[in-house]
């Protein structure tokens, strides 16, 4: 059981933190992000979403002494055999001027589109976002929940809302991309919200 009070969002990704904060708001949970606590960002060495989510949640729970909620998510493209999948964030990695790694989401979306283009103009453009939430308590107890939203990829990118690959993802049954939909509308159908629904059913 999660008591009302403090919880660490084990993420340094502002887009994810914003969405998870909004999902937690109705439950009287006061979230703090791993970034606010200056907790280190562990290297994501897992080979599955669940392994990476657990790795991040355990690191934050240990570092803070508070329950921690981590999200590992990604975009799986059917025609690319499910890639980038667990490596979704890695496809955005590039060296910046200072030689520090930085993330460029437009480059990453272009990489996906480039690989689809190589497969021809009638390529299957279906894709899904998946989200694995791991909730870990300081005593090591852990719970994992998975969510998914199906859709298709469009090009060029459209919209300024959301984050990551949102400008190229159109959820099934809609015409706007996740980056064109209002945050509350994305939240009503997203992979993150789907996983969160399962967490709520189990934990609260």
Indicate whether 163 belongs to the interface with ligand IMP (CB under 6 A): yes
Enclosing H/E stretch for 20: helix 14-24
Catalytic residue (choose from 36, 38, 71, 72)? 72
E strand segments, the chain: 5-9, 29-33, 68-77, 93-95, 101-103, 126-136, 142-153, 169-171
Pick from 31, 63, 67, 74 the residue near ligand IMP by CB under 6 A. Answer: 74
By the rule CB under 6 A, 73 interacts with ligand IMP = yes
Catalytic annotation present for 104:
no
Give the shortest CB-162-to-ligand IMP separation in angstroms: 6
β-strand pairing of 5-9 with 68-77 = parallel
Could you give the C-alpha distances from 42 to 23, 50, 111, in angstroms and in order?
24, 14, 26
Number of neighbours of residue 199 by Cβ within 10 angstroms: 20
- Residue from 10, 89, 136, 199 touching ligand IMP (CB under 6 A): that is 89
Interaction with ligand IMP in 98-137: which residues (CB under 6 A)?
129
- Using rule CB under 6 A, residue 196 touches ligand IMP: no
Distance between CA atoms of 183 and 37, rounded to whole angstroms? Answer: 26
Q: Indicate which single residue of 39, 145, 151, 166 sits in contact with ligand IMP (rule: CB under 6 A).
A: 166
Q: Which residue is nearest to ligand IMP (CB)?
A: 164
- Considering only the stretches 21-29, 67-75, 114-122, 138-146, report the one whose residues sit in contact with ligand IMP under the rule CB under 6 A: 67-75
- What torsion do the CA atoms of 29, 131, 104, 111 make, to the nearest 10 degrees? -170
Catalytic residues: 72
Q: Which residues bind ligand IMP (CB under 6 A)?
A: 13, 44, 72-75, 88-89, 129, 162-166, 178, 190, 192
């Amino acid at each position: 059981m999660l008591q009302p009070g403090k919880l660490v969002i084990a993420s340094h990704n502002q887009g994810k933190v914003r969405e998870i904060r909004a999902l937690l708001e109705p439950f009287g949970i006061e979230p703090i992000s791993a970034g606010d606590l200056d907790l280190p960002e562990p290297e994501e060495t897992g080979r599955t979403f669940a392994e990476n989510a657990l790795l991040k949640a355990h690191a934050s729970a240990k570092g803070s002494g508070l329950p921690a909620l981590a999200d590992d998510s990604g975009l799986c493209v059917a025609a690319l055999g499910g890639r980038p999948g667990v490596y979704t964030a890695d496809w955005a990695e590039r060296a910046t001027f200072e030689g520090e790694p930085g993330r460029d989401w437009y480059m990453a979306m272009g990489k996906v589109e480039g690989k689809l283009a190589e497969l021809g103009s009638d390529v299957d453009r279906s894709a899904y976002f998946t989200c694995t939430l791991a909730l870990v308590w300081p005593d090591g107890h852990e719970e994992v929940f998975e969510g998914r939203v199906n859709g298709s990829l469009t090009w060029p990118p459209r919209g300024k809302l959301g984050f990551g690959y949102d400008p190229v993802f159109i959820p099934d049954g809609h015409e706007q991309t996740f980056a064109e939909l209002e945050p509350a509308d994305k939240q009503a159908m997203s992979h993150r919200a789907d996983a969160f629904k399962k967490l709520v059913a189990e934990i609260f």
